[in-house]
Every structure is written in structure tokens, then in C-alpha cells.
A and B are shown apart, each in its own frame.
Chain A
């Protein structure tokens, strides 16, 4: 990517973000009910989008060669167990990342 393309990419992210932040204040009124379909999407979208982002993070994992995605599988398992156990975001993210680094540096290198 050239510098101009980088700036454009960051700019597009900023513009899209501002659209989502400012739009409701331009379109909706506090005293009028929000359309039901919009309210439904508001509740239904987040879980689906974060599911998509998990898959997005793993998009370059090749299960046919190399480590076959085993380190990712183990580390995600550790994140899940840590999080269900303590519900502490920092511990789950930190612990999982350190485990993954150990796995790819020492065991699957």
C-alpha cells in the first residue's frame, strides 16, 4: 500500500464510524418510536458481527499444512476456559495471547 492508500483506508474507517455515530441524531427524533426492524437489527447484529470477526482473525490459518491450526485451537480453548472461569477480560486476553506466543515459538516453530 502507498502512503496515500493508507491515509484513504484510515480515512474511510473514520468516515464510516462517524456515519454510524451521527446518523441517528440526524434521522431519528427522541419523541418518535424507532422502526421495529432497526431495533431488531440492533439486538441481533452484534453477536453475528463478532462471530464474523473471530472467523476473520483466523482467515489465514491453513488447516492442511504447517501446524494445521492446532495452536489457534488450543489458544482459543484457553481463552474460553479462562473467560468462563473468571469473566476477567484482561486475564482471558493476556493469558490466551501469552499461551499462543509460547505455542508458536517453542512447540510449533
Chain B
């Protein structure tokens, strides 16, 4: 093969990788545009310009945390609590990373972005999909990741802009965050045979909320959850059903 042919060939592979990756991300597109826009509108009605959701969706790219960050931005400055909260909400990425160690090997410069842009949805596609023949796995994973982040950033920014033009009363719109977490919690609940870990989460948080009050219950809650999960590891593992 001449140099020119090689170049053409590589272009073809990149194109084929994109064409294989795009359809996989279509189901994510609707979800991310909807949730992203809700998030952008929520930020707007909380008093932040669209620049905030734009920057946050680019730099953080984690829906749950970005929603929580809005209420943290509205509260008083609490760096330690913010940091710990972010760690706990995002801790699941640690386990995605472990599962993807092998898959992301040998993807060159793209690896840095693959890790940076890892989210639940990109993880599930990249983990569950066999990379089709004739494509390059690095490029395939790259397009899945970059398209998913694109949908999210687009939704969040659009929401932030559209939020300006909302003419109806937006009182109560902030419930979108509660509804989202209730749905994710339900999904987790349905996955478990016994609901020990879900119950620990709810009861420990409620207990700490009563004890420490709304402004300072998060850190004790996170510490207690880790302690409970560690102390009751045997019965929880024995009950099984952890996915």
C-alpha cells in the first residue's frame, strides 16, 4: 500500500467507526436532551445564566452531580462538603473504570478523553457492545463518548437559553431533580433482591437530617453510610441480589 492509500484506508475506518457508533447513541440522545434541557432550565430559573450549564456540562459532565451542584451554588460556600459530596455521587465511575481497564488499553491519545468523558451511558454501551469488524475500537469508543457528551452539553445549554423565554409560572419546576433521583433510586431498588443498601441510604440520611439539620447532615450521612455498609457487609453479601 502506498502512503496515500494508507491514509485513505484510515479515513474509511474512522468513518465506519462513526457510522457504527452513532446508532448506538440514539436512545441516549432523547434522554440526554430531555434531562439536559431540564437541567439548563432549572439553572436558569435558579438565577444562573446559560454560561453556567454550558461550562458545568463541559467540565463535570455528570448529570446527578450537576443538579446537586445547583443547590450547592445556592447555599453557603462549603468546600469540604462539596468535594466529599461530589466524590460520593461520582464514586461509581471508579467501578466503571475498573471494568474498562482492558477495553481502553491501546487506544492512544483518545484514551485521555475516553476516561474524561466516561458516564453511565457511555459505559454501558462501550462495555456491552462488541466493536464491529472493519472499525477501530479506539475511534468507536471515542465517538460513543463524544456524541453522548455533545447531546448533554447541547441540552443543558439550550435549556439555559430557553429558560429565559419561559412565560408560564415555573414554581415547583425544581422538583425535576427530586423526580430524577426517585426514578434512579427505584431502578436500583428493583435490581436488588433484598433492599438493605437502599434502606441504609434512606434511613441513615433521614436520621442524620433530623440529628444535624438540613445544612450540615451530608458529611455525617456519608460517613455513616460507609460505616454501615462495611459493618453489615456479611449479611448484605449473603442476601445477594447486588447487581
| A interface with B by C-beta (< 8 Å) | 1, 5-6, 8-25, 28-30, 34, 37-60, 71-72, 75-76, 79-80, 83-84, 89-90, 92-94, 96-97, 100-105
Contacts and interface: CB of A to CB of B under 8 A. Distances in A.
A52 B91 contact: no
Given A10-B69, A23-B94, A105-B172, A51 B83 contact: no
18 contacts: A9-B69, A10-B52, A13-B82, A14-B59, A16-B90, A17-B65, A21-B97, A22-B116, A24-B101, A38-B98, A41-B229, A42-B92, A45-B225, A51-B198, A52-B204, A53-B181, A54-B202, A56-B218
Majority-rule SS of A interface residues: helix
A34 B195 CA distance: 25
Interface size class of B (residues with CB under 8 A): 35 or more
Interface of B: 30-31, 34-35, 38, 52, 55-56, 59-62, 64-66, 68-69, 72-73, 75-77, 79, 82-83, 86-95, 97-98, 101-102, 104-105, 115-116, 118, 169-173, 175-186, 188-189, 191-192, 195, 197-202, 204-206, 209, 214, 217-218, 221-222, 225, 229-230, 233, 236-237, 242-243
A43 B243 contact: yes
A80 B222 contact: no
A51 B199 contact: yes
Nearest to A109: B171
B101 A30 contact: yes
Contacts of B116: 18, 21-22
A104 B118 contact: no
